[in-house]
Structure 1
Amino acid sequence: MKFCKNILAVSIASAAILGGCSSDSHIAGNSAETGSPELAGIFLLDNGKPAAFARVHCVPSDFNATSGELPAAYSTETDSKGYYSLDSIPPGTYAVEAFHEESGKRFLVQNISVTEDDSVAVSDTLRDPGIIKFEGIENLSDGAAGVATVLGTTIHRNIVVHEHTLFIDSLPVGKFDLQVFIDEYSSANPWAYLKVDIVAGHTETILEPSPIEPDIETPRDSVTLTFVAPLALPKGIDTLNSVVTDIPIALRLTEDICDFDSLQYVNYGRWDAARISKDGRHRSNLPISYAGFDRESKEMVIWVRVDSLNVDDSLEIVYDGLQYPFYALDIFPTNRSYSLVYHFDSETTFRDDAEKGYFNGMLNSTETGSKTSTENRNSDGVLRSSIALDATTTITAKNSAKADSTRKVNLSFGNGQFCFSLWINLESLEQQTIFEKADEYALRYDPAQGFVVEFYHVATERAGDEGATDTASYKQTWASGTEGIEAGKWIFIAFSKHSIPQTSYFINGTSIKAEETSNDWDGNRELADLKIGGFTGKIDEFTLGSTFRDDSWTRLTYLNQKPEISWPKLSARK
């Protein structure tokens, strides 16, 4: 057969597939000789074995799983060696799906073009399915039912709402547009429409599904606005001690520089950021996202990741109301060791804005009659909103107890590098816990010592081993002292621990020379999720990671987020 002539190959799974292209008796039919297109290939499992007797569908791009069944001619089954073929397929654009029932593995690839007298190969390794989870669905009652579909595929999943959470299970790996229908649904009236990227075995949490209405275009502003923010350091800050790269910077867009009343649909337009050199040339486009728009306070916080800080440059921010939004997910990138980022902009569930976004937080209370979620949220945060807690209320970073080897980031930092930063406003200066991960690390306030950082070191070698140098487990603590700490005022705390060892400890913009104290510890851990709380007051802009942040980085973060400084400042460009 002429299977290898003019092939479009999608993620070929192994060299063996290519090796069998010139002549392979396992792939039946010879469509190139009969004048009809052919689709064929090999599917494997992740252990390298053939995906034997897996169902394979070739789905036309206009197929709708809610209103019809796929004709039998578009389906087949792999043989014992994972081979499949479909011939006499009309020319067109298709999705290829595969499902291996015995292992539960799946595959989906869309936009495969098949032309007349052509042969197309689609081969790959089947993967574990993933899950989409919508949390905090306040406008749907428990028990509400519906389906989720992807146009141009046979994906058709039943869904149900339970405890304000909506689950869609067993979705294949890949990027696709998901349509969600609730209760009395029709194919013309989806409740939400989302672009999703499913990773094998991963649960993707989406806090704000985008509701859409049938036959109504998304509203847009027919305006373009340009703002500029010079990166020159604030007065009194002359130099930096080191080169600062990939630093997230918050920019405040307020009503004194922007007429929000004329921007009815500011959330639907496109924001772009660029670094502009002193002579006015664009030097680079930068990742950008925004933390939502509060129409009541008329303020928007825009986040930009600056690749390298040159104080002679400026940032240029452009809003185009007619462009569709597309935003980076790496403002807080993993390669800068951001493991968790909370802005506290929501009310009950807090989205983790770190690049991987693994550790969304949930508000919990141990006592009935405590504050409602709306009462917990405050508009007077350091950046827009903050969260108010009391001694009975905590935020738990879900699924953070154990290190997961399938993830590139986690909240267990071993004996290596460790850092955090946050803003805290304590109602009183009594003994209280700010956050803790039992037997791993914590931040507490002590009336006599100030803010105390705890970190638990586990022995990596056994006593008695020849040449062993790390045979003791112990708890390390660093105390800030009480100078400059007042109840009822926002305080910036940043701490970094290097493995060499070295520490950096800041209270507000001042570096603290805190001496390390070590105490005996038996080395036994009781792993637990990270919890924020145990104090009465407010908290904002909490980040946690596995790196050492130097003084320049920390001081710039403080200057950027401090409301009285808000460096760098945006202004409208005429």
Structure 2
Amino acid sequence: MIRQKYDNLLWILLAILAAFFTLNCSDDRTSLGNSAESGNPEIAGVLYFADGSFAARVRVRVVPDDFSVWSDSVDSLWTTWTDSLGRFEFSTLPSEIFTLEAVDSLSGMQLVQMGISKDSERENIKGYLENTGSVRLGAENFADGTTGVVYVPGTTILRPVTVELGNIFVDSLPSDSLCPLIFRSDSGDSLEVNEPVLVVADSVTSVHSHSVSLRFRVPLDMTSSGIALSEDLRNFPLEIRLDSSDYDFRGLERLQGAWNAVLCGDTLPLSLSYADMEKGDFAFWTRIAKLRANAKDTLFLSFEENTEASLQSQGNVFSDGFIAAWHFDEGDSTARDATGNGFDGIPEDLSVADEAVAGGALYYDGSQGAVTIPNSATGALDLTLQTSVTFSVWVKMEGLDRSRVVFGKGASQYHLMYLAGTNESSWLYEIFTDEILDSSSNSARYWYMDSSKASEEWTHLAVVQDSSGAALYVNGEVAASSPRIGTSTTVRTTDSLFVIGKLIYPADDPTDLVTHYFKGVIDEFHVSRNARSSAWILTTYQNQNPQKRWPVPEFID
């Protein structure tokens, strides 16, 4: 019995030792599909990632040189996986000449080696998986919007593509020399490149492509058949809008180049405040040195690939006479001041609006949220009744039953708001002074009121003020120019910040404060240090009107 126990223990120890040596002598290979773990493989090799580390657990395929993506199945291909050291092998091959393909599903890195001969390579294959690259193929004989596929015979490469700007952009191609490269349109027409195309990781390889040049004619008709401009306007900021009805801009986001605006041979300052490449919507601003009354001029707007913007076109559009200009095209995180004067706004509790005058805009929900200008308590926005200033802003208000503030600098300095009343409602611009009107020692209060019916459509509001008085404009026309003057028990204060879309307003009881929030969309808010003319206000309304575009660009073939 004792001897039998010792024999059993001996067999157990031998089994443990055998298992130990078996584990330590393993080559750590994965199951290699149809590859051989012993014997002489037809081919074998090692794959690496671009950083030199082993390409472990990546899929490897052998594709015969006569493989066709049109008639052959990918499932029929010889397939295996590398082991932890990047090794692979195949015991049989489908043809004498073949392509080796490898892809890592996690990183997206790929490898393609075409034209491999099993007799010459045998067990010496070594390759690196890299990031993919792109090819730009000139296709001038195909109309923009033509769809089809690009493929490489003898590989599994097949990419759906669309002709854009006279080119075919093929993405996610492995870094290697590919030949031939064939485009086949859905209608059956084809384009074949028979020379090797070298694809480089993270780069674009151009093949027979041409530089893209776009040119638009922008008629400026200031006669009675156009906008009927009554006086010359100096340094006028003109908005130019492009959309998909003007041109098919798909593919433009891939190109490096510059836009320029030229009028009468002079290059104008130009800024692109908004671009939605997917929709093909653009909002440009350019400064016209002299917009001539009762005249017809033509501005040319162009894009040239592989060029840089000139010094003239880089000039500030809003540099002449402007205090601040907010396009609200940056989303809901900031409101950049386009003048460069530093009055950038901070949006709080706002969202990007579904519609805008041009580009983007911010939506105010009526219960919270505003844009605050941090450094505005003093300086250019600290106005008095004698200060020359012009406010120009677009609003689309929701609901007419409650008072809504468009902008203001405190309840007792100045503000513009919609005032909801029992019998009538109105737009109201109000400004306070230190002037004493009577023995009560109360400060003076001036207000300009438009009692015409407000609407929930896009409305352009402008306030023009100088030492001689002020005027309130609605949709390009004077709505009020004679002030109502009274006294206020509220002492004029100037330490408040400039805020868009919100105002804390004193009620009859000084301890009772009412906050008026705007509800709707506010867009294109410009503040000038000059008292603009009625012609300027009307032209601004006509140029920026979201319901009727002026000027209308025309593409030049």
- TM bracket (short chain): 0.5 to 0.7
How much has 1:572 moved relative to structure 2?
Answer: 0.8
With structure 2 as the length reference, what TM-score do the two structures score? 0.54
Residue 330 of structure 1, aligned match among 316, 341, 365: 316
CA distance in 1, matches of 2:230, 2:217: 26
Worse-matched range after superposition: 352-361 or 385-394: 352-361
User: Does 1:546 find its partner at 2:538?
Assistant: no
Closer/same/farther in 2, CA of residues 218 and 570 from structure 1, 3 Å limit: farther
Residue in 2 that maps onto 1:247: 236
1:536 shift after superposition: 1.1
Q: Aligned runs of 1:390-469 on 2, under 5 Å? A: 390=365, 391-403=367-379, 410-414=380-384, 415-429=386-400, 430-438=402-410, 439-447=412-420, 448-459=424-435
Q: Tell me whether 301-310 or 236-245 shows the greater mean CA deviation.
A: 236-245
Matched, 1:573 2:556: yes
1:295-337 per-position Cα deviation (integer Å, ceiling 9, x unaligned): 232111111111101332111111111113455352112x32x
**2:250–2:278 Cα contact (<8 Å) kept:** no
Q: Aligned match of 1:271 in 256, 259, 264?
A: 259
Q: Return the alpha-carbon distance in structure 2 between the equivalents of residues 411 and 524 of structure 1.
A: 15
Residue 241 of structure 1 deviates from its aligned partner by 3.1
Query: Following the alignment from structure 1 to structure 2, what is the Cα–Cα distance between the partners of residues 332 and 535?
Result: 27
The letter of the residue matching 2:432 is: Y
* CA–CA separation in structure 1 for the residues paired with 2:519 and 2:497: 21
Percent of residue pairs bearing the same amino acid type? 24
Moved over 3 A (4+): 214-221, 233-239, 349-354, 461-464, 521-524
RMSD: 3.0
The TM-score with structure 1 as length reference comes to 0.53
Cα deviations by residue, 1:196-227 (Å, 9 ceiling, x for unpaired): xxxxxxxxxxxxxxxxxx99799999211111
Distance 1:352 1:262, change over 3 A: closer
Task: In structure 1, list runs of 5 or more residues that go unmatched.
Answer: 1-213, 277-281, 366-372, 404-409, 465-470
Aligned to 1:348: 332
Structure 1 Cα separation of the partners of residues 227 and 524 of structure 2: 26
Asked if 1 retains the 8 angstrom alpha-carbon contact of 2:325 and 2:339, the reply is: no
Q: 1:324 to 1:265 in 2, by over 3 A?
A: farther
Question: What letter is aligned with 2:493?
Answer: R
Q: Which has the larger radius of gyration?
A: 2
Q: SS at the partner of 2:541? A: helix
2:535 aligns to what SS in structure 1?
helix
The reply on whether 1:359 has 2:338 as its aligned counterpart is: no
- For structure 2, the 5+ residue unaligned runs are 1-200, 502-516
Q: Partner amino acid for 1:528? A: S
Q: 1:444 to 1:352 in 2, by over 3 A?
A: same
Alpha-carbon distance in structure 1 between the residues aligned to 2:521 and 2:324: 18
> Does the 8 A contact of 2:391 with 2:463 survive in 1?
yes
Question: Is the contact made by 1:231 and 1:313 (CA closer than 8 Å) also made in structure 2?
Answer: yes
One-letter code aligned to 1:381: A
Specify which of 516, 519, 522 is matched with residue 483 of structure 2.
516
| 2:214 matched residue in structure 1 | 225
Contact 1:271 1:320 in 2 (8 A): yes
Residues 342 and 350 in structure 1, CA contact (< 8 A), matched pair in contact too: no
Q: Does 1:506 align with 2:494?
A: no
Amino acid at match of 1:482: S
Give the secondary structure class of the aligned counterpart of 2:250.
helix
Residues 437 and 260 of structure 1, relative CA distance in 2, 3 Å threshold? same
- Alignment check: 8 A CA contact 1:329 1:355 kept: no
Structure 2 counterpart of 1:339 = 323
**Matches of 1:424 and 1:565 in 2, distance apart?**
16
Return the alpha-carbon distance in structure 1 between the equivalents of residues 556 and 452 of structure 2: 44
Are residues 1:382 and 2:357 paired? yes
Q: Give 2:285's aligned amino acid.
A: W
TM-superposed CA distance for 1:446, in Å, is 0.9
Partners of 2:217 and 2:393 in 1: CA distance: 27
- 2:303 aligns with 319
Aligned in 2, Cα 1:437/1:510: closer, same or farther, shift over 3 Å?
same
Pair 1:221–1:422, CA change in 2 (3 A)? farther
- Report the Cα distance in structure 2 between the residues aligned to 1:496 and 1:217, rounded to whole angstroms: 53
In structure 2, distance between residues paired with 1:518 and 1:497: 15
Following the alignment from structure 1 to structure 2, what is the Cα–Cα distance between the partners of residues 536 and 449? 16
Question: Are 2:327 and 2:338, in contact at CA under 8 Å, matched by a contact in 1?
Answer: no
